[in-house]
Chain A
C-alpha cells in the first residue's frame, strides 16, 4: 500500500507552503504526463502530490497591458493551441509545444512540466529559449525571475531551489517584422523524441536581421542558447555566408551523446542543417508569409 497524499490548493502560497514543508518528498502535478509514468515505473515515490491546476495563475494565458504573453506553467498544449492570438504571434513556440506527444498528451502536457522534467530533448524548451522567455518562480523566500535557459541544470535536473515552483512564462512584446519557428529531427513523422531540436526567433527590418535568438536541444546535457548563432545572423540579409556561420556556431555548441537515436557526428551535422531550415521558416513568417 503506497502512502501518498494529494493536495489541490487554490492559491500559490498554499502550494509553496505544502511543497516546501514536504522537503523533497513532494512532487508537483501539472499534466502528469511525465510524473505518472515515473511513479508507475517506480522511479519516483512521492509522499505528497501537489496538483497546481486549481491555481488561477498557473492555468491562465494573459496578455499584459505592456504587451507580450504570460502563460501559466500548467497550461495544456491543447489549451494554448485554442488561444485566438498566441499562435499568430509565437507560431514557433506553439508548434514546439504541440509536438509533445499525441492529442491525448496535448490535453494534459504543459510547457512548465516540459521544462521542469529537465529532458535535454524537451521540444518546447528550445523554442522558449529562442523566444527570450522569462520564467517566474515562487518559493518559500518569495518570487524571482530567471531567463528560461537558466532553468535546466543537467539531464532531469533544474536550478530551482528546494520548495520553489515554476509559476509562468513571460514572452516579450513583438516588434513588427518578427516571427519564430521550431523544427526537430526525428526518424518518423509523429510521436517521437527529438534527435535534434532547434528554435529560431527573428526580427527583420527591410530584409535585414535586427534581432535573432537560437535555442538548440537534444545535443548537450541541457538545452542551449546559442548566442554566437544569433550574432552571426544579426545585421545580415540571411545570405549564405551568414547562414553558414550560424550553422557552424550551432555545430560548435553541440556536446551530444551517442545513442540509439543518433550518433555524435550525425546530431552535430543535423544541428547545422536545422539552423538553416528553421531560420528560413521564421524569416518567411516574419516577412508576412506563413
Chain B
C-alpha cells in the first residue's frame, strides 16, 4: 500500500511527510520526523509519555493515526521552550528536581501546560487529577506536583 502524503503544522512550522495509513502519530513524530522528545511508554494510551496536543487538545499520540495529522496543528515538547528560554514549567522542573530518569517528563510537561491553560490556579487535587494520565515509574509525583504548583503561581504573577 502506498504511503499517504500529509501536510500538517508542528510547533507552528509547516511540515510535510509520508505516512503509512496504519501507523501512529507517535511513530511519525519519532521515526519519520526525528522529533524524539515525545516518548513511547506503553503504546496503549495508559502512560501519557507520548502526550502532544492536536488542534489544542491534549491527546496520546500513540492513539492518533499519523494520517489524522493532515491539516491539523500539532504541538510537541520540542516547541515548549522559546529558543534558549525555558517555559516556566520546564524551569521549575529543573529547579525543584521534578524528574528522575526523565522518560515521562516531556509528556508530563505537555499535560501540565494543557492543565494550566484551562485552569491557571489549580488546587493540588486538581493537579493530581489533571496529571492522572501521566505515569512516572520513578514515583516522583510529589515533586512533579509541587513544581507544577510553583510554575502556576509564577505564571499567574507574570500575566
Contacts and interface: CB of A to CB of B under 8 A. Distances in A.
A122 to B, nearest CB: 15
- If over half of B's interface residues share one DSSP class (helix, strand or loop), that class is named, otherwise mixed; here it is mixed
Which 10 A/B pairs are nearest by Cβ-Cβ distance? Answer: A102-B133, A4-B22, A6-B21, A190-B132, A107-B57, A107-B59, A104-B60, A4-B21, A104-B133, A37-B44
A36 B66 CA distance: 12
Interface string A1-42: 111111010000000000000000000010111001101110
A107 B58 contact: yes
A49 interface: yes
Nearest to A47: B1
Interface residues of A, number: 30
Contacts of B57: 76, 78, 107-108
Given A4-B21, A103-B58, A40 B44 contact: yes
A103 B130 contact: yes
Contacts, number: 89
A145 B83 CA distance: 55
Interface of B: 1, 4, 20-22, 24, 43-46, 48, 51, 54, 57-60, 62-65, 67-68, 70, 111, 114-115, 129-130, 132-134
Contacts of B43: 40
B48 A36 contact: no
Contacts of A104: 45, 48, 51, 58-60, 63, 111, 133
- If over half of A's interface residues share one DSSP class (helix, strand or loop), that class is named, otherwise mixed; here it is loop
Contacts of A190: 129, 132
A108 B64 contact: yes
Given A6-B21, A36-B63, A108-B63, 14 more contacts: A2-B20, A5-B21, A6-B65, A6-B67, A32-B63, A33-B45, A36-B64, A39-B22, A53-B68, A78-B57, A103-B111, A104-B59, A104-B111, A104-B133
A101 B132 CA distance: 9
Contacts of B45: 33, 36-37, 101-102, 104-105
A51 interface: yes
Contacts of B54: 107
Contacts of A49: 21-22, 65
